[in-house]
Every structure is written in structure tokens, then in C-alpha cells.
Amino acid sequence: MALENSNRSTTPDLQQVSDPARRTVLRLSAGAAAAALYGPWLAGCAHPGAAPRLGFAPVPPSRADTVVVPAGYVAEVIAPWGEPVGVPGAMPPWRPDASHSAAEQALQFGMHHDALQYLPLDGSRRGLLVMNHEYVDDGLLHPDGRANWSAEKVRKAQAAHGLSVSEVVLNAGAWQLVRPSPYARRFTADTPFVLGGPAAGHRLMQTAADPAGRSVRGTLNNCANGLTPWGTVLSGEENWAGYFDGGEVINEDQRRWGLRARGWSRWAEHDTRFDTRQHPNEFHRFGWVVEVDPADPTSTPVKRTALGRAAHEGAWVAVTKDGRAVVYSGEDAAFEYIYKFVSRDRIAAAGGGLSAAQANRTLLDHGTLYVARFDADGSGTWLPLVHGQGPLTPANGFADAGEVAIKTRQAADRLGATPMDRPEWLAIDPHSGSVYCTLTNNSARGSPGRPAVDAANPRANNSMGHVIRWREAGDFDATHFRWDHLVLAGDPANTRVEARGNVKGDAFGSPDGLVFDPRGLLWLQTDASSSTMHSGEYERLGNNQMLACDVATGEIRRFLTGPVGCEVTGAAFTPDARTVFVNIQHPGETPGDLSDPAAPTRHSRWPDGAAATRPRSATVVIRRRDGGYIGS
Ligand code: FEO
Ligand code: CA
Ligand code: CA
Ligand code: CA
């Protein structure tokens, strides 16, 4: 199937973002709905075709406790956990014993950096970094780990979650944080959010603290993210269910969402919000895509319920030819689904005193949500999750559109969507319009009592994962598509035939992060663990890594290897394609650490070195010594 041979243009219109500090208006990457998403070449910044697509010498698998990049590249650490984000007048410094308080943590970079976005303030010289802080490691977060568990420790853990906004500038060839910055901001598990869309105000969203069901404290387990054409960032609440304690009696709905008697966070012991016996509806107020406006530090972030409730990895936006937003998302859990939302209205331009973000404040509250079915003949169908249509009726437990949104998983079950091998990131090819999705792994595929292999998820005991892609049958709002696989990940040296895969180039497993750069290279990042792979498989592939793929040929080349025990996640390119920001998450983590009640036993001292007492998640900024395009 020829997936890469058609150009798909979008209609540019000017988007602007107001600069609250300077009361001027700045361009967010010159243009277009499309330009923010589909590449700065539309703004004349980079020059695709002027350089070879994959031009670097690949790096070998590594077990070293450091970041390795190809010859000719430089990788530098900025923004580790615990450094102040730069809120004016409030910059508590990092202390190596992690003795900073909860209040101080709420002004510092959170733990476990995940996806990040670069939003230009001055092209490729100065911009905002917006990143997710997915979860915490209590053994590292507190000087005495999980011992002496307390309300203050819960508050500190909540403060280390969420998102951060910081400002960065390129000075004399090196990127630095700008501190203080009027944009610097943290969103935590305690920040006020409002609800938008069909579940806002619903009876299942009402709590004692919020009888109207319209405002929520905090966001949790933010994993991947996407930039919108109107200058906001969408961030997915992924494994939120694990923060709640359900106690002895767990109902069918809660069980479908993975609620357990005791969650992993131990927050419920000091914050009853996370005890579903006392506050059953609080559980419904997580699992949403949240939208933040980084350019306006005074803006209130919103949970967009029209995009469905799920263990959302993230959310990524395409634009139809007539200017409506299409938001793709998946949920990273075994046998869960891939979704897309099509907005009812067109994207509005800035004007009349409103920034583009303000002009589109309710755009994602109205539209149609679909879930994907992948058929064996290479076709696929988007099934509408519309209240009153098909089985989504009051008789089946869906009283109204709000309840369909709150029970998105159950609605998708009813429609016969295809259960996938853990959908992680999606990426939209700016040249062809093809949509790519990483399916990281699913060791339960084909095991007794669980779904068998199917055409889209073709390997039983899928420890290596794969990348699927599709082209819509028409515009992005089409209800049908054609799909195939970019690659089945694996290692040709593997003794297990089903884990060898068909990689053309460097072996890898458990693809997770997935990003097209401004020149059109597809970047893959891995989140492999010895707990999901078979004995020896993880060791042979080395530490987690980042690879580049030329989608025209399928060639894949290893670009970066991370330190011991880390995940490599998030890749944000400047519009000129000469800088990439990459996040290194949880260096030193090994299976079992997080449940270890004793003092942390960790296996990395990255990035601070041998004298460090604890490893830290951090952002790495990568440039070429000659200033050239990344990857060429
Ligand atoms: Fe947070 Fe699915 O990775
Ligand atoms: Ca991920
Ligand atoms: Ca993952
Ligand atoms: Ca991870």
C-alpha cells in the first residue's frame, strides 16, 4: 500500500500569541494552523531537501550511565528536577538532599520529565519549554523516602506532578534557562482547572468540594502532549486510576478503569479526595486531555471532556481543509483503543483583542469523538461515540452525552473497537498526512482469556511493540481509512522468532515517543524495561534510546542512547531544525524500585555525577557543532 505519495496541504491562517510581559504581539511560528504543526518550512525557516535526510553515523547500543550522541553533536543538560522554573521572586534552589518543601517543589521543575514542546517567542533563538512531569519516585523525592509517610509528603508528591512552563534562550551557541521569566509557571495536582465539554457540570462530576461539577483541583500522570495551531498545549492524563484507593468494594465501572483496593500513591491516607469510598465522583474528574495556554500565565487550564476519558497518552492535532481541528489520541493500556475527535467549528483567527488561544477557548468542547476499528483487509472505520446512536442508550447505562464521555472506554467496548497493543504517541506526517502510532508492547496478547492476535496487532506475547500508520480516506475528518505497519520492532539476533521484527537498520524495542521534525524525519524513542521483555532481550538492546526513521525508505538509525535505567521521551525541535530538546526520564529506575519501602537503591548518578546522592530526570538539549540540521 502506497502511503507516502500524496501531499496534503492545509489552509494557513495567521495565528498570534499575545506576550503578557511586553504587551506586544508575537508570532507563534509564523502562520498557520499548519505552520505550528506542519513545519516551519512553511515559514521559510528550514530548507528541506538541502541536506541528506539521514546523515549521521549511528551510535551503538550502550550500557553507560550517560547520554551518547553521534560524532559532531553536543548534548547538554538543562532543567533537571528540583531546579526553580523561574517564577519571579520565588526561586527556591535545588538541594542535593532533596530537603525542599512541598511549597518549594511547586515552584521547581517536577519529577519524571515526559513529553515537551518548544513554543517560539523569537523563532529558534528564544522560546518556551512546556513539559509534563508524569509521576514521582517517592524514594528519591523525600530525604527519607517513603518512611514517616505524612501529609507533607503527599503534598510534595502532588507538587512534583503536572506540567512546567519555562523560558529558554540560545546564547553564544548554548541554551540556557531564562530566570526569572514572566511565563514561568507550574501546574500541579493542586492547580485549579475548569471542565469543558459534555461532562462539565454532569451529576457524575459533582463532589462535596465542587457541587457544580465544573472545577477540578489538579492534573495527574501527564504523559505525552501536542501543540495546537492556536498556540496551546494538550496534555494527556495517563495512569491516573492508580492514585486512588477503592477499598473493599469496587464496582463494575471502577473495575473497568483499573481501580484497586490500594493504589500505588498512598495519597488517600492523607488526602481523602483520593479515597473513592468517600468521594466516588472525584475518580471521574481525571482521565482527560487538559489544555493549557503557556503564553498567558494568568489563564485557567481546562479539562476537555469532549475528547473522551481514557488513560490518555497524549493528544495530537491535525487540521481539515476547511479549518476544523482533528485531535488524535490513544490510551496506553493493554487492549485499549485509538480515538479521534473532529471539532464542530473551524479554528478561529486571533483578533478583536483576543489571542488565538482565547479565540478558540471553546473549540474543543463541541464535536464528535470516534474510536478506531482496524479490519483484516487493511481498511479501517472510525466508529462515532454519539449518545443515542447504536448501543449508546440509557438502557445500556449512557444517560446522556456526558455519561458517554465519562464512560468512554465502556462506550468503545460496545461499538466493537479494536483492542490495541498499548497505543502510545501519535505523529502526523506533514508531507503525506499519514498518521503514525506507536504500540509499545503487550505481553498479554494471545494469552489464555485475552484477545488473540489480529491483523493490526499481529504478534502474540508482543514484547517488542510495533508502529502502525494509516491514511484517512479523504480529509482528516473521514470515517474510513487504510492502514499498514511502518515496522515491527525487534532484534534480528533474538532467539525468539516472534521478537525479531523487521527493522531496516538499528534494533530497538518498545517504541513510545514519536515525533516528526521540521524536515520530515520521524523520530522514535523507546521505553523498554526488563519487566516487559524476556530474559536477555532488554540487555542486548542496551539503555533506552532515540532513533531516526526516513519514512520514505523505512530505514531506522540509532541517534542517542540514554543513561542507565532511564526512558528517553519527548523531542521538541526548534523551527530551524537545528536544536532538539529531549527528556531523560527516571534515570536509575529498575523494576521493583518504586515499591521498595526502604531507602532508594538506584543504579544511576546521572546527570550530576558520581558524587550525587540521587539521579534526576532532566532535559537534554542537542545541537550540531557545525550548526547543521539535526539528523542530516
Ligand atoms: Fe506514560 Fe504510556 O507512557
Ligand atoms: Ca509514554
Ligand atoms: Ca511507555
Ligand atoms: Ca517509563
pLDDT score, position 579? 98
Cα separation of 445 and 429, whole Å?
A: 29
- Residue 610's pLDDT band, with cuts at 50, 70 and 90, is confident
- Which atom of ligand 1 approaches the CA of 440 most closely? 2
Most confident of 29-43, 344-358, 524-538: 344-358
pLDDT score, position 23? 29
pTM of the model: 0.93
Pairing of strands 618-624, 222-227: unpaired
For residue 117, what are the contacts with CB-CB under 8 A and spacing of at least 6? Answer: 129, 130, 131, 225, 226, 227, 233, 572
> Which grid coordinates are listed for 32?
498557520
pLDDT score, position 613? 80
| Of the candidates 507, 624, 628, 620, the residue with the CA atom closest to the CA atom of residue 571 | 620
- Residue 52's pLDDT band, with cuts at 50, 70 and 90, is low
Contact by Cβ (8 Å): 423, 330: yes
Cα-flanking dihedrals φ and ψ of residue 369, to 5°? -100, 140
For residue 145, what are the contacts with CB-CB under 8 A and spacing of at least 6? Answer: 138, 139, 597, 598, 599, 600
Residue nearest to atom 1 of ligand 1 (CA): 223
Gap from CA of 186 to ligand 3 centroid (Å): 24
User: Which has the minimum average pLDDT: 68-82, 94-108, 417-431, 604-618?
Assistant: 604-618
pLDDT score, position 121? 98
Tell me the average pLDDT across 9-37.
33
Tell me the average pLDDT across 197-224.
98
> Where are any strands of DSSP class E within 527-597?
545-550, 555-561, 567-573, 579-585
Cα separation of 217 and 189, whole Å?
A: 6
pLDDT score, position 531? 85
Shortest-distance ligand to the CA of residue 115: 2
Q: Percent of the chain having pLDDT more than 70?
A: 90
- Express each pLDDT in 541-579 by its tens digit: 999 999 999 999 999 999 999 999 999 999 999 999 999
Cα-flanking dihedrals φ and ψ of residue 537, to 5°? -65, -45
The residues spanned by each domain of the chain are 31-37+50-57+94-109+120-238+287-624
Would the pLDDT of 18 be above 60? no
- Which atom of ligand 1 approaches the CA of 527 most closely? 3
Shortest-distance ligand to the CA of residue 222: 1
| Position 299, amino acid | S
Shortest-distance ligand to the CA of residue 513: 2
CATH fourth-level superfamily of 31-37+50-57+94-109+120-238+287-624: TolB, C-terminal domain (2.120.10.30)
Instruction: Give, as residue ranges, everything with CB less than 5 Å from ion ligand 2.
Output: 424, 512
pLDDT score, position 611? 83
Shortest-distance ligand to the CA of residue 112: 4
User: Which has the minimum average pLDDT: 41-55, 57-71, 277-291, 457-471?
Assistant: 41-55
Instruction: Give, as residue ranges, everything with CB less than 5 Å from ion ligand 3.
Output: 512, 527
- Which atom of ligand 1 approaches the CA of 239 most closely? 1
> Which grid coordinates are listed for 460?
502474540
Cα separation of 428 and 291, whole Å?
A: 19
Cα separation of 163 and 105, whole Å?
A: 12
Gap from CA of 53 to ligand 3 centroid (Å): 27
User: Which has the minimum average pLDDT: 32-36, 54-58, 136-140, 242-246?
Assistant: 32-36
Residue nearest to atom 2 of ligand 1 (CA): 332
| Of the candidates 477, 454, 440, the residue with the CA atom closest to the CA atom of residue 377 | 454
- Which atom of ligand 1 approaches the CA of 424 most closely? 2
pLDDT score, position 429? 97
> Which grid coordinates are listed for 502?
523487521
- Express each pLDDT in 142-182 by its tens digit: 998 888 999 999 999 999 999 999 999 999 999 999 999 99
Tell me the average pLDDT across 124-149.
95
Cα separation of 299 and 328, whole Å?
A: 24
pLDDT score, position 534? 84
Q: What is the mean pLDDT of the chain?
A: 91
**SS3 breakdown of the chain: % helix, strand, coil, rounded to 5?**
15, 30, 55
- Which atom of ligand 1 approaches the CA of 238 most closely? 1
Cα separation of 505 and 200, whole Å?
A: 48
Shortest-distance ligand to the CA of residue 331: 1
> Residue 614 class from Cβ within 10 Å (0-12 exposed, 13-18 middle, 19+ buried)?
buried
Would the pLDDT of 2 be above 90? no
> Which grid coordinates are listed for 340?
479521534
pLDDT score, position 601? 55
Pocket of ligand 1 (CB under 6 A): 134, 223, 238, 313, 332, 424, 512
Gap from CA of 290 to ligand 3 centroid (Å): 19
- Express each pLDDT in 60-88 by its tens digit: 999 999 999 999 999 999 999 999 999 99
Would the pLDDT of 367 be above 80? yes
Across the beta sheet with 579-585, the strand order is: 73-78, 618-624, 579-585, 567-573
- Residue 248's pLDDT band, with cuts at 50, 70 and 90, is very high
Gap from CA of 527 to ligand 1 centroid (Å): 9
Gap from CA of 332 to ligand 3 centroid (Å): 8
pLDDT score, position 532? 84
Q: Percent of the chain having pLDDT more than 90?
A: 85
Gap from CA of 134 to ligand 4 centroid (Å): 9
Gap from CA of 332 to ligand 1 centroid (Å): 6
- Which atom of ligand 1 approaches the CA of 114 most closely? 1
Gap from CA of 585 to ligand 4 centroid (Å): 7
- Residue 612's pLDDT band, with cuts at 50, 70 and 90, is confident
Would the pLDDT of 8 be above 70? no
Pairing of strands 435-439, 466-472: antiparallel
Gap from CA of 96 to ligand 3 centroid (Å): 28
Cα separation of 95 and 512, whole Å?
A: 32
Gap from CA of 456 to ligand 3 centroid (Å): 19
Shortest-distance ligand to the CA of residue 311: 1
Tell me the average pLDDT across 400-429.
98
- Which atom of ligand 1 approaches the CA of 224 most closely? 1
pLDDT score, position 592? 65
- Which atom of ligand 1 approaches the CA of 311 most closely? 2
- Which atom of ligand 1 approaches the CA of 223 most closely? 1
- Residue 14's pLDDT band, with cuts at 50, 70 and 90, is very low
Cα separation of 284 and 281, whole Å?
A: 5
Gap from CA of 424 to ligand 2 centroid (Å): 6
CA 233, distance to chain mean position in Å, is 11
